[in-house]
A and B are shown apart, each in its own frame.
Chain A
Amino acid sequence: MDEPVTLSALQHFVFCPRQFALIHVEGVWEDTGQTARGHQSHARAHGGGSEERDGVRTLRALPLVSRLHGLAGIADVVELLPDGSPRPVEYKSGRAKPRLADEVQLCAQALCLEEMFGVSIAQGFIYHVASRKRRDVAFTPELRGAVLETRDGVRALLGSGELPSPAADERCQFCSLFDACEPFAPRDFPAGYDPFDTRLL
């Protein structure tokens, strides 16, 4: 069996295949203010353990795996409803990102939970730390399909070891790897840049 694809890899890949490759192929990682806040807001969630309130048990840092789909990772928070059925909750410190990256990550958690608990899960939640709001995400057939497509994309890119071209679009302003990626820098020499220039200044 192939090595399982990690849930965070899925999220990076959906957001931008180049960002994914920079992190998972090139080994680039840069802490920005935003990712540092992310670590902080995850620190509590990843502390592990569980608590119970109004009949809902909250499990933190729950290891997840799906042998069927080849996925693995750790869920920030999984809530167990009074009937014992699980609901994944993903903590996000930033704003909602374009391209459903967070939704795919959440749905992948659900696919793991379904297999581990032997249930079907219709929806989960994304909790935005800044606004303290949670929103519902329905696990539609399209979203489930997107998870598996993304997983295949991740495997193909890891196998090829290539670095995709920069997105150079509205996503880049959300990206913590902007400087390593240099999405808008010319790939070749720009006009006026010539190392063999022999005009004296």
Chain B
Amino acid sequence: MRTLLNTLYVQTQKSYLHLENDNVRVDVEGERKAMLPLHHLDGIVVFGNVLLSPFLIQKLARAHKPVTWLTEWGQFTARTETPVSGNVLLRVAQHACTCDPGRTLAVARYVAAGKLQNQKTTLLRSAREAAEEDAPTLRQAARDINAQVGVLPLAETVDEVRGIEGTAARSYFEVFSLMLRANRDFFWLGERTRRPARDPINAVLNYVYTLLAGECASACQTVGLDPQIGFLHALRPGRQSLALDLMEELRPVIADRAVLTLINRQQLTPRDFTLHEGRTVTLTEDGRRTILRHLQERKGEEVFHSLTGRKTPLGLIPHVQARLLAQHLRGDRPHYPPYLHR
């Protein structure tokens, strides 16, 4: 199994990363802050104004460990392309599948089914821990999503699948803040707003989804899939449609669950947000650091994968799913099996 290694996130501005023997040395303002052995690292993600020495970038690339550059606010800008260029036959199969409406529909339905099932699981789990007055509302939302799962097999076009997914998403986000048990007067969710976020929950969700999308894109590239050629998400220049497809079923499990936990444990509090004039909200650097630390810890948590029948670290689930999708596209599997969280 691909071993789960650490991703080094560097968000301290003006850091300088360079090689020292087989270690990554992190300096801030000329002072040594950290030394990390290269063989413990899976890749490096840097935010904003962080400098990496050419030798470090090349050494990482040779070891197939990508460097990902994000803006200071976590928006994806670039990633090193490592020498493995993947399997050209797989990419051809992927393209052939997107050109076949029947096969595209089948994959899109399974992707959406995975997302809805995992939303259901998240709601029901929160309902068990929720206050008495909130539990019935959460269960009702789970039943509403369940009804949408029921109509998914009947969808005849990808547009219909998107419609079903949208209906489920509305049921889910309507009750999202009922899954919170702390600082409820501060954490509220209007409608989903992306850039800029209009409320604190959207600000956290946007940040966590960006990180997850990056991991899904890496997973696609690692198994040789083209992250831009998706099935559920329409093809659009510059959009990582396949990475977004893979992310759908993982949002409730990896991203939403992390947000709920951090707020409920009060590790993320109103202090971690900046409210701007004109009602927009951003995360502070401390808030982002708390989130990164939590996500990194959770990556090591083992989950049971009901298709492979094996325990797998949560952080590897995007890779497992990308590989299962590749197997389907190359004819090694009749269907794409989404990850169903227990």
Contact = CB atoms under 8 A, between A and B. Distances in A.
Contact of A201 (B121, B149, B223): B121
Nearest to A178: B1
Interface in B127-173: 142-143, 146-147, 149-150, 152-153
Interface string A189-201: 1101101111011
Contacts of A180: 323
B316 to A, nearest CB: 10
Interface in B96-139: 110, 113-114, 117, 120-121, 124
Interface stretch (B74-82, B83-91, B199-207): B83-91
Contact of B308 (A26, A163, A182, A195): A182
B103 to A, nearest CB: 16
B238 interface: no
Interface string A168-201: 0000000000011010011111101101111011
A149 interface: no
A136 interface: no
Kindly list the 7 A-B residue pairs having the minimum CB-CB distance in the complex, ordered from nearest. Answer: A195-B113, A27-B87, A179-B1, A198-B150, A161-B89, A26-B87, A193-B306
Contact of B309 (A185, A188, A198): A185
Interface of A: 25-28, 30, 161-163, 179-180, 182, 185-190, 192-193, 195-198, 200-201
Contacts of A182: 308
Given A187-B332, A187-B334, A196 B86 contact: no
A167 to B, nearest CB: 14
Contacts of B338: 195
Nearest to B110: A195
B149 A198 contact: yes
Q: Which of B124, B307, B326 has the most CB of A within 10 A?
A: B307
B224 interface: yes
Given A185-B309, A200-B146, A195 B337 contact: yes
A180 to B, nearest CB: 7
A185 B308 CA distance: 6
Given A193-B306, A200-B146, A201-B121, A26 B337 contact: no
B154 to A, nearest CB: 10
Contacts of B89: 25-26, 161
B330 interface: yes
30 contacts: A25-B87, A25-B89, A26-B89, A26-B224, A27-B86, A27-B87, A30-B2, A162-B331, A179-B1, A179-B2, A185-B308, A187-B332, A187-B334, A188-B335, A189-B337, A193-B307, A193-B337, A195-B113, A195-B337, A195-B338, A196-B150, A196-B152, A198-B146, A198-B149, A200-B120, A200-B124, A200-B142, A200-B146, A201-B121, A201-B124
How many chain B residues sit at the interface, stated as a range, is 35 or more
Nearest to A26: B87
Contacts of B35: none
A116 B90 CA distance: 38
A188 B333 contact: yes
A25 B330 CA distance: 11
B44 interface: no
B340 A193 contact: yes
Nearest to A186: B307
A182 B224 CA distance: 18
B22 to A, nearest CB: 15
Given A27-B86, A189-B307, A200-B120, A163 B337 contact: no
B113 A196 contact: yes
Contacts of A201: 120-121, 124
A161 B338 CA distance: 26
B158 to A, nearest CB: 16
A30 B319 CA distance: 13
Contacts of B2: 30, 179
B143 A26 contact: no
Nearest to A18: B332
Q: Which of B114, B224, B330, B331 has the most CB of A within 10 A?
A: B330
Contact of A188 (B153, B334, B340): B334
